[in-house]
A and B are shown apart, each in its own frame.
Chain A
Amino acid sequence: MAPIDRSFSRRRFLGGSAMAITASALGTPFVRTARAQAATFKAGVITSLSGENILGGNLTKQGYDLWADAINAKGGVEVAGDRFKVEMFYGDDQSSPATGADAAERLIVQNGVDVLFGPYTSGSTIAVQPICQKYQVPMISGSAESPNVWKAKPEFNFGIIPAVDTTSGLSLGVLAKLSKPAAKTVAVISVNEPFSKETGEGFRDGAKAAGLEVVTYELVPPEGDLTPVISKIAALNPDVIAVGGHEEVLLNVVKTSKSLNYRPKALIMHYGITNPAFAQALGADADGTTGVVVWLPTVSYKDDVFGTAKDFAQMAQKKLGGEPDYTAAACAASGLVLGDALKRLGKKPALTPENRVALKDAIAETDIQTFYGPIKFEKDGPHYHDNIQPVPVLVQIQGGKTVAVGPKEAAAADYIYPLPAWK
């Protein structure tokens, strides 16, 4: 302990500064910063910039930013003959739903955003929905593929990517048609985490619908070791292994099966293989891996902000240093939906609460063509407010590049099946 005479002054100092800090903290909410610049539309991005979903979180942020950059380069969003720039605000949900809700409240109340762009994860999205409802702020989600997101019929939330149960299910049917001799059996590995599990269930149910036999359905914890599961599947020797998981597990599935010298005739994964880091990390071992996407740079769609899908890919390549995947594309397309709805609404910033409700209604009426494909939201049913227009495309990594292999009309290369044994 410090001598008494000193501790008195120190205590006083600390007490004084504590009071000062408290006073300034309490005062902060009342201080208004002067608005000097011209009127802008304010958009808030909630996503995972830290925590376990950081990779996908950054993909979504990059996608939303690409739209903001593109539209601002054109002078802004066109409303009633004028153009208004878009200002982006960000809130990290720390990969936790509770923080996502905090972030939404902050962006709406503190930053006064007119509209939100939704989180990467479905869990955060579900936690943010009630806040959007409370403040009547529309939210456009360029990710959040879990079907659970749409079950509660969120009035203010709209999804650009089809829920994963619609895509992963269909993909196995496409694969069965492409394979010669036709694949008959499938083993499903489903990582027990949100999204991954629903993907795995989509594979399982889709396989049955496509007439494939599911020899085993393995639900694995994300932290678990995969050797026991792969050994078990190797003993059952199915034609296809289908995996619902995120990047890290997908990588580990390939590494583990190689280290056990087991290769199925086809290995299909839903998400992550289109991230360049996947092929880069695995090198030649990534070759042959099949993936499911709802968008590729080679699709033939276009719009007047980004141009063709290829133009968009080039712009993304320049800004991000890698080929964009469908999450980034869908997030950028979220911006197009907003731009279109604002234009139809014809109200200048900042939007009044009534205008935001009208904006929500305008978004619900969206029916546009974009570089990402057609966008139109469901008006009813289990996928309420989700855009289930895009059809899944099968891609395969061939020589380190992702190429479309099916269905027939989208294919740019032949499907390699069965996969050769590990060298």
Chain B
Amino acid sequence: MALLPTNPQWRGLVLLAIIIVVLGVLPWTVNNYWLRIATGALMWAGLACSWNMLGGYAGYINFGQSAFFGLGAYVTAFLMGDPFGLPFSATIPAGMVVTALFAVIIGAPTLRLRGAYFAIATWAFAEVLIQFASAMDFTGGIGGIGLPPYLNERFFYFAMFGTAALAYFLTWALFERSRFGLKVKALRDHEPAAEAMGINTALVKLQTFVLSAVTASVFGAIFAYWVTFINPKSVFGGDITDQMVVMVLLGGLGTLWGPAIGGVGLFVVNRLIWMYWGDTAFYIAILGTAIVLVVLFLPNGIAGLFARRKNDALDKVMDKLVGTGAGGHP
């Protein structure tokens, strides 16, 4: 730590630069297996970030986030296959548009629900999509869809890295550094009061919901192309959402870096346990124990340990550099 500048502002920026450089050269320093793990870790960090936009900043717990991940995956798989045969890059915007449409149609009525009702309504929506994709023929039914394999591991690494970086930048710019973010946090902390202040809460919630959904769909699209085969359970499954939720809670709900810490941490720990105890089901019990212990002993998430730093360092430097400050901190 002594190597880093003592000034907290610059220290944060240097840390960020180090992280970016390390992630940038990683594909040339590790073998393909670790690169694959890193790709997965970046995807989960990004998915956790997408969930955190609505769950952490707006306080709406979405149990159906996998629906949007799956929509992105299915649109890409569908458009890359016969008879369309579109290139991968063209399917991503298509997936984003489809997901945004779904998010508006689903979000507008469900965002009126509160707390557990919203959570379970969104879960129901994801289940509807699983059942729909399983029952229909054009989705390949339960047999799923295969995609043309593209075996360039570095491509997928940088696709996930770029998307995740963009997701975190958007989170930082929109939720930490703009009036929009203040509105979102205001409605999280007290919705009626926010409304009384003249905030159009319905609109703000919907915007957040759509942003969160579209982010997840891009990861879904890359995931489908990366894994080359999807079926309803593998991209719409409730366990995908469960993991995002647990990652955010472990990392730190409503914080910028919490989801990254939780996402990378949980995924890598899961894979390590799986590597060493993977020939039995015991690792599931270990994972459960780990979650219980974190809830009991780190209730504010891992980011909570660094809570006092929240408003200094990186934020202030970025503030100066980009100059999008929303006018100080509450």
Please report A residues at the B interface, Cβ cutoff 8 Å.
1, 7, 10-12, 14-16, 19, 25-26, 28-29, 49-50, 54, 61, 90-92, 94, 96-99, 101-103, 105-106, 108-110, 123, 126-127, 130-131, 133-134, 146, 148, 152, 192-194, 197-198, 219, 221
Contact = CB atoms under 8 A, between A and B. Distances in A.
Contact of A192 (B31, B34, B141, B280): B141
Interface of B: 1, 22, 29-34, 36-37, 40, 131, 134-135, 141-144, 146, 149, 151, 223, 227-231, 233-234, 268, 271, 274-275, 278-281, 283-284, 305-308
A179 B275 CA distance: 51
Given A1-B307, A29-B30, A91-B278, A102 B234 contact: no
A192 B135 contact: yes
B229 A126 contact: yes
B37 A102 contact: yes
Contact of A106 (B33, B143, B144, B307): B33
A101 B36 CA distance: 10
Given A92-B278, A152-B146, 18 more contacts: A1-B307, A14-B305, A15-B1, A26-B30, A28-B34, A29-B34, A61-B279, A97-B144, A105-B33, A109-B32, A110-B31, A110-B33, A123-B234, A127-B229, A192-B141, A193-B142, A194-B142, A219-B135
A208 to B, nearest CB: 19
A1 B305 CA distance: 9
B211 to A, nearest CB: 25
13 contacts: A11-B305, A15-B1, A49-B278, A49-B279, A50-B283, A91-B278, A92-B279, A105-B33, A110-B31, A126-B146, A127-B228, A194-B143, A197-B141
A117 to B, nearest CB: 13
A156 to B, nearest CB: 12
Closest 3 CB pairs of A and B: A130-B149, A109-B33, A90-B279
Nearest to B239: A96
Contact of A97 (B135, B229, B280, B306): B229
A100 to B, nearest CB: 9
A105 B36 contact: yes
B141 A92 contact: no
B143 A148 contact: yes
Contacts of A134: 149, 151
A192 B134 contact: yes
B279 A102 contact: no
Q: Tell me if B's interface is mostly helix, strand, loop or mixed.
A: helix
Contacts of B307: 1
A84 to B, nearest CB: 23
A74 to B, nearest CB: 24
A97 B268 contact: no
A130 B151 contact: yes
A127 B1 CA distance: 43
B281 A49 contact: yes
A97 B234 contact: yes
A124 to B, nearest CB: 9
A8 to B, nearest CB: 9
B142 A192 contact: yes
B231 A102 contact: no
Contact of A194 (B31, B144, B151, B306): B144
Contacts of B31: 29, 109-110
Nearest to B37: A102
Given A105-B33, A134-B151, A98 B223 contact: yes
Contacts of B142: 192-194, 197
A123 B231 contact: yes
B131 to A, nearest CB: 7
Nearest to B275: A106
Contacts of B308: 1, 7
Contact of A197 (B32, B143, B223): B143
A25 B268 contact: yes
Contacts of A193: 142
Contact of B227 (A1, A127, A192): A127
Contact of A49 (B37, B131, B228, B280): B280
B130 to A, nearest CB: 9
Contacts of A99: 274
Given A102-B40, A194-B142, A54 B281 contact: yes
Contacts of A12: 1
A192 B136 CA distance: 11
Contacts of A192: 134-135, 141-142
Nearest to B144: A123
A337 to B, nearest CB: 23
B145 to A, nearest CB: 10
Nearest to B223: A98
B32 A146 contact: no
Nearest to A47: B279
A133 B151 contact: yes
A138 B135 CA distance: 34
Contacts of A109: 31-33
Nearest to B30: A29
Nearest to A108: B33
A198 B223 contact: no
Contact of B143 (A26, A92, A146): A146
B234 A16 contact: no
Contacts of A152: 146
A382 to B, nearest CB: 15
Contacts of B37: 102
A11 B306 contact: yes
Contacts of B22: 26
A98 B280 contact: no
Contacts of B143: 146, 148, 194, 197-198
Nearest to A91: B278
Contacts of B279: 49, 61, 90, 92
